[in-house]
């Protein structure tokens, strides 16, 4: 049975790089962040309904990749990201996202700490709210009783910390 591991957290915390590195290390698959692909091709500023379409696209990509054999599937982001994004931006979240979060659990969540420097990217919006956003993720995971650990460190140390968590997690 494949174990799904979500790489999550605020923007500019190295989620994409970590997901790709972990997949390479464990010689398995990873699911890129669908929002980036979607927004890069959108050709206009995103709107509230786009977040729902992004959430559905992310789930579809995960379901497609989870059909392949392997020990792990690393997911660069998950629905909690779309929930928090929507609530911070619009003050609410689509009911489909809220319902599907509970129906789409992961075996482990790796919450990326904000100990990396924030890097500009035209798709990033909150360079001054990193601690606030990290706290939202951390509180959501605690309140939902998700199996999670915070990943710290920079460069190779971050990857090694994530690997330690995975290798010692009681799946």
- Kindly report which listed range (1-5, 52-56, 149-153, 165-169) carries the lowest average pLDDT score: 1-5
pLDDT above 70: percentage of residues in the chain: 100
Which one, of 133, 132, 143, lies nearest residue 15 by Cα? Answer: 133
pLDDT, residue 126, reads 85
Can you tell me the mean pLDDT for 150-158?
A: 96
- pTM comes to 0.96
52 — pLDDT class (breaks 50, 70, 90):
very high
Torsion over CA: 99, 60, 130, 90 (sign): negative
Whole-number Å distance between alpha carbons of 112 and 158: 9
Domains of the chain and CATH, by start: 3-168 (3.40.50.300)
Confidence of residue 1 (pLDDT cuts 50, 70, 90): confident
pLDDT digit string, tens, across residues 128-149: 999 999 999 999 999 999 999 9
Greater confidence, 83 or 127? Answer: 83
Say what the pLDDT of residue 15 is: 97
CB 85 within 8 A of CB 58: no
Give, as one character, the DSSP assignment of residue 164: H
Which whole number is the average pLDDT over 1-14?
95
Q: What is the pLDDT of residue 151?
A: 98
Q: Please name the residue ranges forming H helices in the chain.
A: 15-25, 34-42, 48-65, 79-90, 95-103, 130-143, 156-168
């Amino acid at each position: 049975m494949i174990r799904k591991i979500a790489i999550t957290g605020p923007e500019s915390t190295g989620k994409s790089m970590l997901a790709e590195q972990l997949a390479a290390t464990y010689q398995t698959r990873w699911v890129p962040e669908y929002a980036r692909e979607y927004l890069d091709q959108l050709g206009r500023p995103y709107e509230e309904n786009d977040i729902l379409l992004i959430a559905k696209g992310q789930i579809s990509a995960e379901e497609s990749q989870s059909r392949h054999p392997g020990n792990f599937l690393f997911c660069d982001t998950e629905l909690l990201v779309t929930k928090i994004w929507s609530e911070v931006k619009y003050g609410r979240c689509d009911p489909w996202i809220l319902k599907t979060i509970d129906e789409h659990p992961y075996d482990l969540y790796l919450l990326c700490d904000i100990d990396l420097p924030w890097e500009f990217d035209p798709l990033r919006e909150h360079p001054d709210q990193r601690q606030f956003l990290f706290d939202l993720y951390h509180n959501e995971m605690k309140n939902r009783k998700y199996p999670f650990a915070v990943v710290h460190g920079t460069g190779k140390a971050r990857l090694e910390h994530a690997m330690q968590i995975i290798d010692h997690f009681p799946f």
